[in-house]
Amino acid sequence: MKVVSVVGARPQLVKLAPIAAAFAETDHEHVIVHTGQHYDANLSDVFFTGLGIPDPDVHLGIGSGSHGVQTGGVLAAIDPVLAEQAPDWVLVYGDTNSTLAGALSAVKQHIKVAHLEAGLRSFNRRMPEEHNRVLTDHCADVLLAPTEQAVRHLATEGLADRTVLAGDVMVDVCLRVRDAVLSGQHPRPTLPEGIDPDAPYLIATLHRAENTDDPARLAALLAALAELPVPVALLAHPRLLAKADQYGLKIGQGAVHVGQPLGYAGLIAAVLGSAGVVTDSGGLQKEAYLLGRPCTTLRSETEWVETLDGGWNHLVPDPGALGPGDWIATATRPTPQAERGTPYGDGQAARRVVQILAERLG
Ligand code: UD1
């Protein structure tokens, strides 16, 4: 069996790591195509080196642009690559513009498409990620769902016969790296200047278009982080830096200490050392849950609804609407005591994915 993985943005590289490792245990041929959607070294290269992923076989070098330009650029560039590779499967990951373009190119060339992390829904049709998920699910041949909830969403949309519950490959990589960090195999992460790693601190990230692209909203979120009574290590995504600069907003005010995005092991170590997480990232909500740290999510909905059980994750769409006391109490709440269960699977999802693709080929 020959499988082409199409990746391009940071969260896809994290998911690619366990998949590439699972393929390496077999005789199947695995080809990696990087679209170049993320091109900064700390959003791309560090994941290949840090997670031991083989270098991409093909790099499309697409870069940034409007949604149409970025998606169309990948679509045009990947067509001849898939035609030449002629794989049995194209495997696309998550919900980025690279995911949709990879799926579309494959389906139009009658190459089978498998969608990893299928069936997630925010039901917020203003999110680019939601368009990408829904469209990719509806054109893929096999839907690799990470959770029971995702399976239910796909059934509701009439896609039950293409759906398989595979589990979540992010558990595979998160638990492996957590164990390596706890056994001292990684150096301490570089936290932003002014953060004492031995005193309580929060980890924060902010990059979703719905939070960064409206100046008033971005200003309000930055002000809410600034007034927290605990130091906040804000690991700034390039989109956040670019938008704050464009709107003339200062990111590093009050409690906030600004730093670079971290590599994967650095991020896991930083979360393990923290008192909690404040974020709008999908992956980080789940990593906080898996690592047992309380998470406050700056959105009105989450695709990872299981993290809300037992108070491990709280949704705060608008900190200002809560009043200063309630916002601070939520973001700095102590670690919940509730049991977490294993809604995201057993850490063996990547091997299962390879097996499912081989079986479904026959
Ligand atoms: C993308 C995904 C999002 C994912 C996120 C992870 C889409 C629609 N969104 O959002 O689902 O959660 O990746 O990070 O696919 N930029 C750089 N260097 C880079 C990459 C981006 O400077 O390496 C800047 C550019 O100014 C660009 C902006 O960040 O315009 C946004 O990048 P883009 O790829 O459009 O979306 P993300 O916000 O990263």
Domain, as residue range, for 234: 179-331
In a shared domain, residues 107 and 241? no
In a shared domain, residues 208 and 154? no
Residues of the chain scoring pLDDT < 70: none
Please identify which residue in the block is written with the tokens 């150096």: 187
Q: Whose Cα sits closest to atom 13 in ligand 1?
A: 9
Active site residues: 207
In a shared domain, residues 164 and 184? no
339 located within any domain? no
Spacing, Cα 323 to ligand 1 middle (Å): 31
Q: What is the pLDDT of residue 357?
A: 98
**Ligand 1 proximity of 168 Cβ (cutoff 6 Å):** no
Q: What is the pLDDT of residue 323?
A: 74
| Predicted confidence (pLDDT) per residue in 174-229, tens digit | 999 999 999 999 989 999 999 999 999 999 999 999 999 999 999 999 999 999 99
Nearest CA to 95 among 68, 71, 64? 71
**Ligand 1 proximity of 40 Cβ (cutoff 6 Å):** yes
| CATH number of the domain encompassing residue 6 | 3.40.50.2000
Q: Whose Cα sits closest to atom 11 in ligand 1?
A: 96
**Ligand 1 proximity of 261 Cβ (cutoff 6 Å):** no
Number of independent structural domains in the chain: 2
In a shared domain, residues 203 and 307? yes
pTM (predicted TM-score) = 0.96
| Predicted confidence (pLDDT) per residue in 19-56, tens digit | 999 999 999 999 999 999 999 999 999 999 999 999 99
CA of 281, closest atom in ligand 1: 12
**Ligand 1 proximity of 39 Cβ (cutoff 6 Å):** yes
In a shared domain, residues 156 and 53? yes
